[in-house]
Structure 1
Amino acid sequence: MVATRTDTGTRLANAILFPVVGLVLLAIAFSVALIVYTSRSADIAALNSERSLLKGSTNLQLELLAKEQEGAAVWDQSFFYSRPETLSTDWLDSNVGLWLFSNYGHDQAVILDIHGRPIYNSVRGKRHPVEETSGLLEDIEPLIAGVRARFIASFNRLPSGLYYIERPPSGFTRSLHETGMTVFEGVPALVSVTAIGPELKQFLSARRAPAVLISLKKLDPARLQGLAERSGVRGLRSVTDPDGAFASMELRDPRNAPIGYLVWQAQNPGSSILYGVGPVLFFLAATIAGLTGLVLYYTRQNTRRLAESEARAQHAALHDSLTGLANRDYFATSFREELASWQVGKGLLGVIYIDLDHFKDINDTLGHAAGDEVIREAARRLRVLVPEGATLARISGDEFALLLPGCESRERIEQMLKRIQDRFAVPMYIGGNHLHISLSVGAAIAPHDSLSMGELLRKADIALYSAKAGGRGRWAFFDACMEEHVRTRENLAHALREAITNNRLGVVYQPQTTIDGTKVLSVEALLRWTDAEMGVISPSTFVPIAEETGLINDLGLYVLRRACEDAAAWPHLGLAVNVSPTQFRHPRFIEDLRDTLEACGFEPSRLEIEVTESVFADNDIDILKILTQVQDMGVRVALDDFGVGYSSLSYLRRFPFDTLKIDRSFIADLEVAPHAHAILSTIIDLGEALGMKVVAEGIETRQQAMILQRTNCDRLQGFYLSRPVPSARIAEAEARLSGESQVAVSLRA
């Protein structure tokens, strides 16, 4: 009977467990296949992104080629000397062919007369027979025909019967042009065809086709390298046959005939991740298979069922449900046991706090489900690295703790921290997104720092704060000076709170002038703090503290209120006030702004708030609503420090800014960087095309001011024009700039 019951129990266990084992193995196989498929999909997505970036960079280079032609093509003298009755090939050679080669490195420049016949040919600045252009002209004939047709169509007829040429609308270029690709010396080349036209409006008795300027730039290794850097690809080269290359882009001429290929080394992030996690996946699969066998074996032992149930209950009480790691209670118990049994011969005891950087942003943008998956993945990576005998626990939401007993030296602990940081340098693939998660780590060591659990945990937490304050993505060991820094920070935060409450902060104003620097149009409010005991405190010191302690909204409202009160004395001037991202996203920002303007009786149209690109870290839709509400009040919005973010152009397209403030780094480069002037002019033209006022800030030299005076910039700001002054000296600054001052004289020189 007993044997029968045993056999029955065995058959029942087999009937349950064997299908379960099969399902587990099937799940493992499916998971591996899914990971391989996901890796391949990630590689394809990355390749498509690289190809799109490369195509966009190529198109940008074509537009820049047309822009370079503009100086020689949209010119009254070129228009004059290329006409049949006034043709001068010598003048064209000196002022077009040689000029384009010397200044922009155009490999070939060809000019066609109004009948479409070649009248001039230059190769690398040297004149060549025009007969050599027949093959080129045949290849790019669609571009030439398109430009000639567009030029003829640009004529408008007056009631008098005369015609005049209608200039293209302002934008990146003022010329009529067509661009494409062709072959030059057996290598793919960029080609731009531009109609030669007058700078000013001219009146003609009849419409006629234009003379045409053709420029080529060969895609030599140097230009390919530049194109690769701008596109973010590696190993870019030009070939006639891709030979099955995974990463390639076909090039076609204006007649849609293939002329070659661009090939490069694809990044293949999915394959890289797969290779990185392959050993771990194999280990996990083997572990799961082994555990499944153990479960099968132990489940058959009826006498062990109760013990296993009790063990599971105990594990649940001491482990985190999300990650399976030890929880706070288990960690505390292990910590006490290690401290109680610690002896000199056991070596050092390290306690480490690990915090995921910017984890809140993941929850806010991708949702809590993605946040949970990040926590699980972080736990999996840490668990693999933890040595035997150590205790790894999840302490709170995104914070982990690691207990390392028996360490020979601090260097061994540093080696462990380096391995952890290196492991997290590999991005996580969560919910279809590649997330780069960094860690901030703080460590304390017993017995050097203490033999008290409370003190060691406190000092590890101080070290963690120091690591975060130092820029995140790093580790820090506790040092006595850190405690002093914490106390100093707390004292500074307390003093700042009192300074706001007791109106002890100062506001100065830096003028924004007209382009000639002689008239003040607006002023920017800048906060200053001089404490009776600590002296002058830089905004770079106290503003981050205000952000961390929640004082930033009170601080921003203080500046706004003081600036509106002071600016009431200058009704003819505008007022610019910086708003921090935290203040801008505050739920009561709109109400606080409206209440402040009403309380001060300040005209909203005089106020301009300045925000940086970091304000867009959260939901774009919510930010757009706030910007719209601000402008509905009559207040203008400026994008500050434009150009330093990688996605500045997308912000200009999506958000309704009134003013563009060019970052001071572009102004500083004017006297040292060879292409800084062209970049600056492009930014100013971009702002003008989008209907925005453009302000150049950070002007510190006469040369910078003179360069900007030759652009379409609307306002200037900087120490060269005026340093920030107290409110009582605004009138003095206006008088100095509008009179026969040194600044005005130098700007007009």
Structure 2
Amino acid sequence: MHKNIASNAGRNQLSVAIIAIVFILVSALLAFLVAGSIQTITITSDEIDDSRAMHAADGALQSLRKQLGATVRDNAYWDDAYREVSLQETKTDWIIENWASTTADYPLYDTAIVVDASNKVVVAYRDGEDMGGDWSEFFGGAFNEMLSAARKASKTDPVPVYFVRSAAGVALIGAATIQPSLIDNTVDPRAFHVLVFAKHLTPTAVAEVSEAFSIDHLTLVDARPNAGLSVPLYDVTGREIAFFSWPSEKPGTESYLKVKPTLRAAAFILVLFLCAIGAVGLVTVSRLRASESRARFRADHDPLTGLLNRSGLIDRMSRVSAVTQAEHSLLRLHFIDLDGFKGVNDAWGHGVGDELIAAVSRRLLDTLPTEAHVARLGGDEFAVVTVDRAAAQTFPAIGQQIQIALEREFEIGGRTIAIGASVGVAINDVIGADVGELIRRADIALYRAKDRGRGITIEFEEEFDRDTKVQAELEEHLRQTLSTGGIGVAYQPLVHASSGAICGVEALARWQRADGTRHGPDMFIPLAERSGLIDILGMQVLEKSLKAAKRWTDITLAINVSPLQLKNPKFVQNVLDALAVAEFDPQRLCIEVTEGVLISDPEQAQRAISGLKDAGIKISLDDYGSGFASIGTLRQFGFDRMKIDRSLILALGNDENGGAVLQATIALANALHIPVTAEGIETEAQAMAVRLCGCDELQGYLFSRPVTEDEITAFYFGEIPAAASGVM
């Protein structure tokens, strides 16, 4: 029995020992597994954070390149820029005004360089100052490599954007040839100028990237660091020229260090501890994922409204377009431009303007279907993408919904603000999945909508492209005509109402092309205004008419001025210079202006009119009676003469109240002591009526059609030739 007891005790002891050993081994194994799990969580969290940071850094580099590339593309592939840099006499001023001067404070670039076809620098500015001859040494050989890449790139290729090392440090540089949106086959691409923008990665710029993409302690270093994380910056040849570097935050390690004392002191709650560590790991991963999601959101969304930005819109359209192609449905792009937004900014400031933009975005989201994609492209421009499926009819319903929604008044800071919108629509029924072409068409349609009076919706039509091409050809013909001084001038006499003797002439622009084609002023004057040629055209007419009228003593010369000319701050000086060159008495010159500029920009109009009057030049209000000029306007600007619109003359025979309206209009001018000219006089009855009403000067076909300089000279100041047709 004792043996059995001893044997049982031994077996129990052995069992206890075995259980103890097993417990110890199991505990050790559990501790090892727990330690291994903690180590795995720590390493994984660190790696996830490092991976997030690397993706964020790569995203930051791509965003910087994409942003500068878009800026270069928008400025280089620009019809106005192509035309202006082609003009030898004005291109330098234009480049400095539009690009070079903005380097002083523009956030997207601090250096702007334009080179010609032979790679000779036309303008080179950095931080708002001329770089002089230092530009070549400043960028070194990388500059020529960028020029070569820009000239090799086609218009559909991405704009070459790379990093370079300059004398001021590391810079992001982009280059593209300056070319029109539609390139004629006769244009030699080798003759294009090249536009170069560069943005130096200063400590401030690096800090902005660090904040925007949640990469703490981001720095720019020359060599790859031995510790921490880094991404290389490549130049155009693929060389690594610098690195973005930052320390690894190691959130997993920091979490482990916090709970390490608790692990040593509380081994008996191992399972709870493991759950806590698991929770910490899950929280860490969740935060990293949330941070990455926020970075992606910021890259694709507008910070003011939370809508998609241009980049996000293009990406969304690409994905939606692929789906519509597979489903055989249609994608419609609506470009929206707010009408009257500039007036809100001018009246109440940008703070109210931003609030209005945010209110517009909310109203669009509330109004449009949930499946519509809404974006803000910048400024007061928005875009809406919708998909037309088999049973859906989104146009014109979407355009109408947008119009109706934005025509309702907005309440901003106690102010009631009324605006509207112009909408341009393009559909991918023909062009397929080409997002860029769809955007171009929507933009053209929007321009047409604004041009036709605003507040309407226009869908793109193929004839728009044809019209654009015709307008471009006419503009080029006009540009060529102006370059050779080919604009002609005709003269229509003004006569004294009492004696019928000539007292002045009005100079009228005429355009006849080399092939004999004639274009009326109602066509080519607006064309010149749209294309930026009106200043050149107006000065050619002024200079030619001054030279001609110098021969006609004791009579006045009247010149019509476009509102855009009057808005030019240099206009007054240009007129005075022309008078000095022609040695023409300023008191014989009369500038005729319409009331449009007085309403759209009264301050500049007042400055220009005052400058002209100070020089002795007379100012006449043209076409009075056709608009809304008030008595206050007549008094404010102090006109020397008023010209009655011909519509009031025509009304004499067509409207029973025409005579009374005409008499009241002239009586108003006489009460303000403003002499009156009546134009459009074609009959003796009309001439007699305006004489009786108080007009002192008359003009019209009754006296003479517009004729040449020689015909005026012959008829009024010399022998009358037999062929002096047109003068009656």
TM-score by length of 2: 0.57
What is the identity, as a one-letter code, of the residue corresponding to 1:526? L
**Aligned partner (choices 487, 499, 513) of residue 481 of structure 2:** 499
- Mapped to 2, the partners of 1:737 and 1:699 lie a distance apart of 26
Displacement of 1:727 in angstroms is 1.1
Q: Note the aligned Cα RMSD (angstroms).
A: 2.9
Give the number of equivalent residue pairs.
Answer: 440
What is the identity, as a one-letter code, of the residue corresponding to 1:462? I
Aligned to 1:403: 385
Q: Secondary structure at the match of 1:442?
A: strand
Partners of 1:687 and 1:693 within 8 A in 2: yes
**Aligned partner (choices 502, 507, 510) of residue 520 of structure 1:** 502
**Aligned partner (choices 446, 454, 459) of residue 436 of structure 2:** 454
Aligned to 1:388: 370
What is the identity, as a one-letter code, of the residue corresponding to 2:387? P
* Residue deviations 1:369-414 (CA, integer Å, cap 9, x gap): 3433443333233222221222111112222121112344895321
Aligned to 2:307: 325
Identity %: 38
**Aligned partner (choices 541, 560, 568) of residue 578 of structure 1:** 560
* Residue deviations 1:186-242 (CA, integer Å, cap 9, x gap): xxxxxxxxxxxxxxxxxxxxxxxxxxxxxxxxxxxxxxxxxxxxxxxxxxxxxxxxx
Is 1:689 aligned with 2:671? yes
Partners of 2:621 and 2:641 within 8 A in 1: yes
- Which of 1 and 2 has greater Rg? 2
1:301-340 superposed matches below 5 A: 311-340=293-322
What is the identity, as a one-letter code, of the residue corresponding to 1:523? V
1:697-712 superposed matches below 5 A: 697-712=679-694
What is the identity, as a one-letter code, of the residue corresponding to 1:486? T
Q: Secondary structure at the match of 1:352?
A: strand
Aligned to 2:120: none
Partners of 1:350 and 1:444 within 8 A in 2: yes
Aligned to 1:342: 324
- Mapped to 2, the partners of 1:659 and 1:737 lie a distance apart of 32
**Aligned partner (choices 691, 714, 731) of residue 696 of structure 2:** 714
Displacement of 1:487 in angstroms is 0.9
Q: Secondary structure at the match of 2:394?
A: helix
Aligned to 2:279: none
1:86-97 superposed matches below 5 A: none
Aligned to 1:352: 334
Q: Secondary structure at the match of 1:602?
A: coil
Aligned to 2:709: 727
Aligned to 1:440: 422
Judging changes above 3 Å, is the alpha-carbon distance between structure 1 residues 714 and 362 closer, same or farther for their aligned structure 2 residues? farther
1:10-29 superposed matches below 5 A: none
- Mapped to 1, the partners of 2:396 and 2:719 lie a distance apart of 59
Aligned to 2:401: 419
Partners of 1:579 and 1:609 within 8 A in 2: yes
- Mapped to 1, the partners of 2:535 and 2:588 lie a distance apart of 22
Partners of 2:676 and 2:695 within 8 A in 1: yes
Displacement of 1:450 in angstroms is 3.4
Q: Secondary structure at the match of 1:343?
A: helix
* Residue deviations 1:281-302 (CA, integer Å, cap 9, x gap): xxxxxxxxxxxxxxxxxxxx98
Displacement of 1:698 in angstroms is 1.8
Q: Secondary structure at the match of 1:557?
A: helix
Aligned to 1:144: none
1:520-669 superposed matches below 5 A: 520-533=502-515, 535-669=517-651
Name stretches of at least 5 consecutive residues in structure 1 with no aligned partner: 1-300, 739-745
Moved more, 478-487 or 352-361: 352-361
- Mapped to 2, the partners of 1:689 and 1:373 lie a distance apart of 48
- Mapped to 2, the partners of 1:702 and 1:430 lie a distance apart of 59
Q: Secondary structure at the match of 2:398?
A: helix
Displacement of 1:360 in angstroms is 4.2
* Residue deviations 1:155-203 (CA, integer Å, cap 9, x gap): xxxxxxxxxxxxxxxxxxxxxxxxxxxxxxxxxxxxxxxxxxxxxxxxx
Displacement of 1:546 in angstroms is 1.6
Partners of 2:388 and 2:394 within 8 A in 1: no
What is the identity, as a one-letter code, of the residue corresponding to 2:449? A
Judging changes above 3 Å, is the alpha-carbon distance between structure 1 residues 517 and 468 closer, same or farther for their aligned structure 2 residues? farther
Is 1:471 aligned with 2:448? no
What is the identity, as a one-letter code, of the residue corresponding to 1:723? R
Moved more, 385-394 or 698-707: 698-707
1:86-125 superposed matches below 5 A: none
Judging changes above 3 Å, is the alpha-carbon distance between structure 1 residues 370 and 661 closer, same or farther for their aligned structure 2 residues? farther
Partners of 1:613 and 1:648 within 8 A in 2: no
What is the identity, as a one-letter code, of the residue corresponding to 2:690? L
* Residue deviations 1:42-63 (CA, integer Å, cap 9, x gap): xxxxxxxxxxxxxxxxxxxxxx
- Mapped to 2, the partners of 1:407 and 1:328 lie a distance apart of 25
Partners of 2:646 and 2:679 within 8 A in 1: yes
Q: Secondary structure at the match of 1:413?
A: coil
Partners of 1:642 and 1:648 within 8 A in 2: no
Displacement of 1:366 in angstroms is 4.7
What is the identity, as a one-letter code, of the residue corresponding to 2:458? A
What is the identity, as a one-letter code, of the residue corresponding to 2:480? E
What is the identity, as a one-letter code, of the residue corresponding to 1:334? R
What is the identity, as a one-letter code, of the residue corresponding to 1:529? W
Judging changes above 3 Å, is the alpha-carbon distance between structure 1 residues 339 and 510 closer, same or farther for their aligned structure 2 residues? same
Displacement of 1:340 in angstroms is 2.0
Aligned to 2:464: 482
What is the identity, as a one-letter code, of the residue corresponding to 2:695? C
Displacement of 1:430 in angstroms is 5.6
TM-score by length of 1: 0.55
Judging changes above 3 Å, is the alpha-carbon distance between structure 1 residues 625 and 728 closer, same or farther for their aligned structure 2 residues? same
Judging changes above 3 Å, is the alpha-carbon distance between structure 1 residues 631 and 435 closer, same or farther for their aligned structure 2 residues? farther
Q: Secondary structure at the match of 1:576?
A: strand
- Mapped to 1, the partners of 2:692 and 2:719 lie a distance apart of 19
Judging changes above 3 Å, is the alpha-carbon distance between structure 1 residues 731 and 434 closer, same or farther for their aligned structure 2 residues? farther
Partners of 2:344 and 2:352 within 8 A in 1: yes
1:201-280 superposed matches below 5 A: none
Judging changes above 3 Å, is the alpha-carbon distance between structure 1 residues 628 and 534 closer, same or farther for their aligned structure 2 residues? same
Judging changes above 3 Å, is the alpha-carbon distance between structure 1 residues 495 and 627 closer, same or farther for their aligned structure 2 residues? same
**Aligned partner (choices 642, 649, 659) of residue 677 of structure 1:** 659
Displacement of 1:312 in angstroms is 4.2
Displacement of 1:704 in angstroms is 1.6
Q: Secondary structure at the match of 1:485?
A: helix
What is the identity, as a one-letter code, of the residue corresponding to 1:487? K
Displacement of 1:734 in angstroms is 3.8
Partners of 1:517 and 1:716 within 8 A in 2: no
Judging changes above 3 Å, is the alpha-carbon distance between structure 1 residues 600 and 410 closer, same or farther for their aligned structure 2 residues? farther
Displacement of 1:735 in angstroms is 7.9
Partners of 2:487 and 2:537 within 8 A in 1: no
Partners of 2:386 and 2:394 within 8 A in 1: no
Name stretches of at least 5 consecutive residues in structure 2 with no aligned partner: 1-281, 721-727
Q: Secondary structure at the match of 1:584?
A: helix
Partners of 2:552 and 2:717 within 8 A in 1: no
- Mapped to 2, the partners of 1:734 and 1:432 lie a distance apart of 66
- Mapped to 2, the partners of 1:564 and 1:457 lie a distance apart of 48
- Mapped to 1, the partners of 2:716 and 2:348 lie a distance apart of 51
- Mapped to 2, the partners of 1:671 and 1:414 lie a distance apart of 45
